[in-house]
Amino acid sequence: MANLKSLKVKEFLPLLKGRQTRFESAPSELVQISDQAMTLAKALHPKRQYLKVAEVKDISPDCKSFTLVPDPERGTKELAYFGAGKYLTVFETIEGMPVTRAYSISSSPKDSLEGKYVLTIKLVDGGLMSRYIFDTWTEGANVEVSAPSGNFEYQPLRDAKKVICLAGGSGITPFLSMANAIADGDEDFEMTLLYGSRDYDNILFREELEELEKKCDKIKVVHVLSEKTKRGVKGLEKGFITAELIQKYAPENEPYSVFLCGPQQMYEFVDKELEKIGLQKKYIRHEMFGEFRNPASQPDYPAGVPDKIKITVTIQDKTYIIFGSSADSVMQTIEKNGLSVPARCRSGECGFCHSHLISGKVYVPEHLEYRRLADYKFGCIHPCCSFPLTDLEINVPVAK
């Protein structure tokens, strides 16, 4: 059989010695290597962005647009670029209680290169964060946000060239960003926007949308008004976003994608309509609709859950015993007790709040199950969409 005898055997010790010699003869400066991969990673995913409010604009009586710019004094020199459709998580402390909310960016990616993000926020009835923002975000106010996050984006390898975008109320924000990105040439798809509002006067960004439609022939906007249309204005639709309406504006002999962003009730209605059309799953994409509330309304919610819950929370080397309601998510209870939780989407999806459930049981609404398979095996939960059924003991990463 063939063998290695033709190769020299005596090179082993010189090899070892040679390695150390090679180290010894190398320069001892701390050399910064050229590393654009790391530069991009840091530019696109900063841990935090420190911003200032530059402008506040009334969009409607209960809706405002806030223009945010970098605050170099607190360490943010430029804004992270983003793909249209992404959101920012806003961090605030309200009466000693750390609170976070995710808001879609309504301005274009191009604007961020010029140092500007716009968040358009609707005042929610009883909404803690929106009320706080309306009261305190005045020109010059300090704001702290996450890197742009989320997966609600156009992807040319996955989505059809033509996209029917279904927006309800303030769910218009990511589509406004996408429409601008199309007009700027940063995205390449044909958008037909079916935008549901109560009536003509309640349409947000009506003029901006009209302008975009005029400027770019890849954008078409149709207003769908649930209460009444307006005399003398052409092209309005009355009613709701039904299967028939979607098909009326959809291309006939080619595939199309449907993107949805709006309140929970809109999804419940439109999802049933979409079933009638029988689109493949790959062509339907939902933006998350924020925090889930009232778990007891779900048909699979168990009976006999106590109202009051004790949670033993360990964060790094500190353990806290806190109390809350079974109607609140684990995350809400922790926050209401003045503790910080890592939070991004608050809708179950992003997994940023991934925590260890040491003991006790939680309820997770089925449509918010985005946990990994091994999480079930090893008892891990996403506190933002987990509702306590018993007293709990959990281990939560520190917020950062």
Partner 1 sequence: MKKYDVIIIGAGNGGLAAAATCAKAGLSTLLLERHNIPGGSASSFVRGRFEFEPSLHELASIGSPEEVGSIEEMFCRMGAEVDWCKHDSTFRLVVPAKEGDKDAFLNENGVMVTVDARMPVGFQPFARKLDELVPGSYDSCMAAFDLSTRMFKAFECLDDPTKLPGSLKDVPDIMRMVTHTVKEGLDALGMPKKAQDIFNTYWCYMGSPASKFDFLYYMCVLHSYVKSGTGIPRLRSHEMSLSIDKVIRDNGGDIWYNSEVTKVIMENGKPAGVVINGEKEVYGKYFICNSSPNAVWNDLFDKKDIPEKQLKMLNARKIACSLTTVYLGMNKTKEELGIKDYSIFIAPDSDSDKQYEAAQNFFSGFCIINCLNEIIPDCTPEGTSQLFLTTMTFGDVMKDIKPQDYKKFKTKVAKDMIETCEKTLNISITPYIEEIEIALPPTFARYLNTPWGTPYGYMLEKWDSMIPRTVQYMQDQPFSNFFFCGASQERGDGYGCAYYTGEKAGGIVVKKIKEGK
User: Interface mask (CB under 8 A) for partner 1, residues 220-249, using x and -?
Assistant: ------------------------------
| CB nearer to partner 1: pick between 127 and 351 | 351
Does 80 interact with partner 1 (rule: CB under 8 A)?
yes
Interface pick for partner 1 out of 77, 234, 278, 280 (rule CB under 8 A): 280
| Residue closer to partner 1, measured from CB, 26 or 303 | 26
**Residue 16 binds to partner 1 (criterion: CB under 8 A):** yes
Nearest CB to partner 1, comparing residues 16 and 233: 16
In the range 293-322, which residues lie near partner 1 by CB under 8 A? 316-317
Residues of span 88-147 touching partner 1 by CB under 8 A: 109, 113
C-alpha separations of 272 from 200, 243, 367 in Å: 26, 9, 15
The minimum distance between CB 18 and partner 1, in angstroms, equals: 6
Please identify which residue in 353, 362, 385, 392 interacts with partner 1, judged by CB under 8 A.
353
Q: How far is the CB of 28 from partner 1 (least distance, A)?
A: 5
Shortest Cβ 308–partner 1 spacing (Å): 28
**Contacts to partner 1 from residues 321-350, by CB under 8 A:** 342, 349
- Within 136-195, which residues bind partner 1 (CB under 8 A)? 151, 155-158, 186
Cα separations in angstroms, 256 against 160, 190, 372: 5, 10, 30
Which residue's CB is nearer to partner 1, number 64 or number 86? Answer: 86
Q: For residues 131 and 286, which CB has a smaller minimum distance to partner 1 in the complex? A: 286
With binding defined as CB under 8 A, does residue 253 bind partner 1?
A: no
Q: Say which residues have a Cβ less than 8 Å from residue 68's Cβ, sequence separation at least 6.
A: 51, 52, 53, 54, 116, 117, 118, 119, 143, 145
Q: Does 37 bind partner 1 (CB under 8 A)?
A: yes
Judged by CB under 8 A, does residue 6 bind partner 1? yes
x-marked contacts with partner 1 along 368-387 as a string, rule CB under 8 A: --xxxxxx-xx-x-------
- C-beta of 29 vs 95, nearer to partner 1: 29
Pick the stretch among 93-101, 212-220, 278-286, 359-367 that binds partner 1 (CB under 8 A). 278-286
Query: Please, which residue, 242 or 314, has the CB nearer to partner 1?
Result: 314
Tell me the site size for partner 1, rule CB under 8 A: 73
Rounded to a whole number of angstroms, the minimum distance from the CB of residue 56 to partner 1 is: 27
Beta carbon nearer to partner 1, 48 or 131: 48
